[in-house]
Structure 1
Amino acid sequence: MDSDSLIEARGLTRRYGPNLAVGDLNLTLRKGEVLGLLGPNGAGKSTSMKMLTGNLAPTSGDVLIRGISLRESPQLAKRHLGYLPEQPPVYPELTVDEYLGFCAGLHGIGKKQRAEAVADAKRDCGLTHMSSRLIGNLSKGYQQRVGLAQAIIHRPDVIVLDEPTVGLDPIQIREIRSLIAELGKNHSVILSSHILPEIQAVCGRVMIINAGRLVYDAHIDAHLGKKGLVAQFANAPAASELQFTGVQKVDIGPAGRFLLELADGADPRAELVNAAVQRGWGLLELRLETRTLEEIFVELTSGDATLREAA
């Protein structure tokens, strides 16, 4: 485990009888990363999050948090973690201050330091003006903020968030996303979601899980927006004839359209047009397109996807 790695999961597997929930998951989180764990409902995201945070024992595999085994030294390893499950673990009969003070005590923060820790968590999560309010009287969005505050009150290296915007209205979703992006400046974050815009809005790296297995792992900027050419001809050439400068791969899609995967910075449109005129291909369509996270997600989660991409 290198010095920049905060979490390293090795071969995490969870079975329920004969059913595989998560299979052979390997994951590394480094300092300053905001990692999005994406997948359709039932893909194994929540099971993965529970294993990563020590709330569910894996059938096999282990998690190292700052080099400490979660299996062998759970209490020591969990000191470096903050966790917000899908349902915030709040007590509605307590005020915000009472609840956060209680959480600070659970994390071993001394009595003399608790007031400052509570104040800092409230400030970071936009809760300062809610100090004396009963949590049960707060909106869903503010209850999520309280949940985030308890996850960061002990200033952990890693914050793990499971579906943090479920059940919120659009304004609350935007506020929570902004808050997560801000937290990501001082903490490393793992964010689980099945909402694509959420991952794209706040994460620098994305992992896609489908049917309990990892099918994609890449930095978002590395693959999203990657250009390709779509071309259609009246007299279609052989795919080998379209291997122009900068063309990495040629696929044949629906209706006889060709999809040319391009290297970064490549644009062989002029070369293709000249060839089409000279060889009588009869060019009917030519356009640049970019690859979106939605296209990658649909490609890998519909049917038997086995693709893995390295960051």
Structure 2
Amino acid sequence: MAISIQNVSKKFGNQMALSNVSLEVPPAQVLGLLGPNGAGKSTLMRLISGYFPATDGTVSVCGFDVLGQPMEARSCVGYLPEHNPIHTDMYVREYLEYTAGLHGIKDVSAAVSSMIEKVGLTPESHKLIGQLSKGYRQRVGIAQALIHDPKVLILDEPTSGLDPIQLVDIRELIREVGRDRTVILSTHIMQEVEEVCDRVVLIHQGAIVADGALSAFASKPGGLESAFQELKVPS
């Protein structure tokens, strides 16, 4: 498995953000974490990315324990958080070269040129990031997450704040990069999952409440929309 999560819980003080979550994701699958805001999606993604430890349970990426083998696990992961932490005062190519250097890539120039072409940044590559539209900034964020060719790509709300044209472009890019790696994306937008993902996991109040292929949800009364709307009803 590309990702294995076993009986994971996470507490922040007295607040339980995740409760006994188990999940396995095979290679080359695009999985959508779908749930309302505050459901625990971002917490789960940060655990996979090694940004903080689980309170209980284990997380492994590409066979490496995130806590026991953090360097090996992190080398397998590319991560784009919800609030894209790019440096707006740097040029696109400059920033990607800086990121590539942090990953110890030997031929930085070649790697950056290839990534710029892959994510459709060629016309913008010599501009300051602060001059780019939100859609192109997201492309830069995805490029930095992919620059070291990770086997797992984690995208937290990757289309938040994009206009309709930018939405289409970024969703197509996610489908493209997901052809040869595992992708997990979180969203509170059902259409996002339907258009991009192979599989959907519904998460609510820190727990997985449903998990299956899109086709499996489609065969049920009301489909995925009905299952998702039920999560929005106050319990």
- TM-score normalised to structure 2 length: 0.96
Map 1:215-226 → 2, pairs under 5 A: 215-224=209-218, 226=219
Q: Which of the numbers 48, 51, 55 marks the counterpart of 1:52?
A: 48
User: Is residue 224 of structure 2 the alignment partner of residue 299 of structure 1?
Assistant: no
* Alignment deviations for residues 285-309 of structure 1 (CA, whole Å, 9 cap, x no partner): xxxxx532111112345355xxxxx
Quick one: distance in 2 between partners of 1:300 and 1:28?
22
Output the amino acid matched with 1:17. G
For the 8 Å contact 1:215–1:300, the answer to whether it is kept is no
Quick one: distance in 2 between partners of 1:40 and 1:55?
22
Q: Which of the numbers 123, 133, 136 marks the counterpart of 2:130?
A: 136
Between 1 and 2, higher relative CO (CA 8 Å, sep ≥ 6) is seen in 2
Q: CA deviation at 1:128?
A: 1.3
Q: Which of the numbers 195, 199, 206 marks the counterpart of 2:200?
A: 206
Quick one: distance in 1 between partners of 2:12 and 2:135?
34
Quick one: distance in 2 between partners of 1:103 and 1:120?
14
For the 8 Å contact 1:12–1:24, the answer to whether it is kept is yes
Quick one: distance in 1 between partners of 2:83 and 2:193?
19
SS of 2:57's equivalent?
strand
Quick one: distance in 2 between partners of 1:210 and 1:32?
25
Output the amino acid matched with 1:173. L
Q: In the alignment, which residue of structure 1 is the partner of 2:102?
A: 106
For the 8 Å contact 1:104–1:154, the answer to whether it is kept is yes
* Alignment deviations for residues 147-166 of structure 1 (CA, whole Å, 9 cap, x no partner): 00001111100100000011
Structure 1: gaps of 5 or more residues: 228-289, 305-311
Map 1:53-92 → 2, pairs under 5 A: 53-92=49-88
Output the amino acid matched with 2:211. D
SS of 1:86's equivalent?
coil
Quick one: distance in 2 between partners of 1:90 and 1:22?
28
Q: CA deviation at 1:81?
A: 0.4
Structure 2: gaps of 5 or more residues: none
Quick one: distance in 1 between partners of 2:15 and 2:232?
19
For the 8 Å contact 1:127–1:146, the answer to whether it is kept is yes
Quick one: distance in 2 between partners of 1:165 and 1:66?
26
SS of 1:21's equivalent?
strand
Quick one: distance in 1 between partners of 2:122 and 2:25?
31
Structural RMSD (CA): 1.2
Quick one: distance in 2 between partners of 1:291 and 1:201?
18
Output the amino acid matched with 2:65. S
SS of 1:58's equivalent?
coil
More helix by share: 2
Q: CA deviation at 1:66?
A: 1.2
Q: In the alignment, which residue of structure 2 is the partner of 1:33?
A: 29
